Amino acid sequence: MSGYWSGILAILAINIIFAYGIFVTATAGQLNLGGAGFMAIGAYGAAMLGEQLGWTPALTVPAATLLTALVGIGIAFPVLRTRGVYMVLATFAFAQVVTGIILTQPALGGAMGLVVTEYVDLPVLLGVAAAVTIGVFWLTATRLGLAMRALHDDELVAVLMGVPARAVQVAGFAIGGGLAGLAGALYAHHFSFVEAQYFSPLLSIYVLLFVLIGGTQTAWGPLVGASFFTIVPELLRIGGSWRYVVFGVMIVAMMMFRPEGMVTRTLLARLMGRRRHADAG
């Protein structure tokens, strides 16, 4: 495999894990536009633990994931006091605070970034992405996942059915934050370098688009969305600088024709119904 394609596969694996982080929170009805902030905490957490304490990735990656999950819990309480667009802005502001802190702290490398010496190779990234994918499918099949989807649809009714709303929403932020942090930690160890500029608002917007355009109704959505957003722009490279225009038009068309995302439950039901039908016939 060429270096070019293995680089794209690495980004794809990281994007899938990152997208699932945003998806889990979105499943419970919360839009997180601070994805880059959580990813940055995971990346810098792993980098610092590796460089300062000499931990290996087998330790830094889980520790950074746990750290980001705890930050997710901490941030959930103030954020969950807000609603709708204000919640989106609150999460966005959180990410700005994170990159602001990184840029002003010399110990974190400031604008120069940090070198990460311990390397994690592509097969590990792909393996973790596969495990996260299976894990999120499992989560959506659990009663916790059902409670999350119910909160997304109708919070009052979910509460009146006995769903512990606040606990489930905080769990959504913890798991989602943890996965974004995991993506960041793997990014740091694979690309051997982290800098604050990478964790820009644009990254937060992109990952939210992966999830919203992929579809939030099933765990297939982020997988399809992240793959689409990672691979299609590369394929469009043959079109030169027109690729941005073509890609932008594709996104607008998707919003118009599939506002609930590329993969919806009705689409899956139709696909599976056809298979059942074919079996019978």
Partner 1 sequence: MPDEALLTVAGIGKAFGGLRVVDDVSFTVPRGGRLGLIGPNGAGKTTVFNLISGVYPLDAGTITLDGKAIGTLPPRDRVLAGMARSFQNIRLMPHLSAVENVMLGQQARASGLGALLTPIGWMPRGRWRRDAEALLAEAGLDIDPGDVVSSLPYGIRKKIEVVRALASRPKLLLLDEPAAGLNPAETAELARFLRKIAEGGTALLVVEHDMGFVDEVCDRVVVLNFGKRIYEGSMAGARADALVREAYLGADAA
Interface with partner 1 (CB under 8 A): 138, 140-147, 149-150, 152-154, 156-165, 217, 265-266, 269
What is the phi/psi pair of residue 32, to 5°? Answer: -110, 105
> Tokens for 172?
């959504």
* Shortest Å distance, C-beta 143 to partner 1: 5
* Shortest Å distance, C-beta 146 to partner 1: 6
* Shortest Å distance, C-beta 259 to partner 1: 13
Classified as helix, coil or strand, 164 is coil
Could you give the CA distance from residue 175 to residue 181 in angstroms, rounded to a whole number? 10
Q: Which residues make Cβ contacts (< 8 Å) with residue 23, sequence separation at least 6?
A: 136, 176, 211, 216, 219, 221, 222
Q: Specify the length of the chain in residues.
A: 281
* Shortest Å distance, C-beta 145 to partner 1: 7
* Shortest Å distance, C-beta 162 to partner 1: 4
Nearer to partner 1, 59 or 159 (CB): 159
Could you give the CA distance from residue 264 to residue 280 in angstroms, rounded to a whole number? 24
Nearer to partner 1, 29 or 184 (CB): 29
Nearer to partner 1, 11 or 163 (CB): 163
Could you give the CA distance from residue 249 to residue 244 in angstroms, rounded to a whole number? 9
Q: Which residues make Cβ contacts (< 8 Å) with residue 268, sequence separation at least 6?
A: 218, 220
Nearer to partner 1, 134 or 251 (CB): 134
* Shortest Å distance, C-beta 107 to partner 1: 38
Could you give the CA distance from residue 7 to residue 31 in angstroms, rounded to a whole number? 29
Nearer to partner 1, 3 or 162 (CB): 162
Nearer to partner 1, 87 or 150 (CB): 150
**Cα separations (Å) of 232 from 7, 203, 238, 245, 247?**
15, 17, 11, 13, 8
Could you give the CA distance from residue 189 to residue 158 in angstroms, rounded to a whole number? 41
* Shortest Å distance, C-beta 147 to partner 1: 7
Taking the C-alpha atoms of 119, 189, 113 and 104 in order, what is their torsion angle to the nearest 10 degrees?
A: -140
Nearer to partner 1, 91 or 264 (CB): 264
In this structure, are strands 193-194 and 114-115 parallel, antiparallel, or unpaired?
antiparallel
* Shortest Å distance, C-beta 129 to partner 1: 20
Classified as helix, coil or strand, 82 is coil
Nearer to partner 1, 59 or 165 (CB): 165
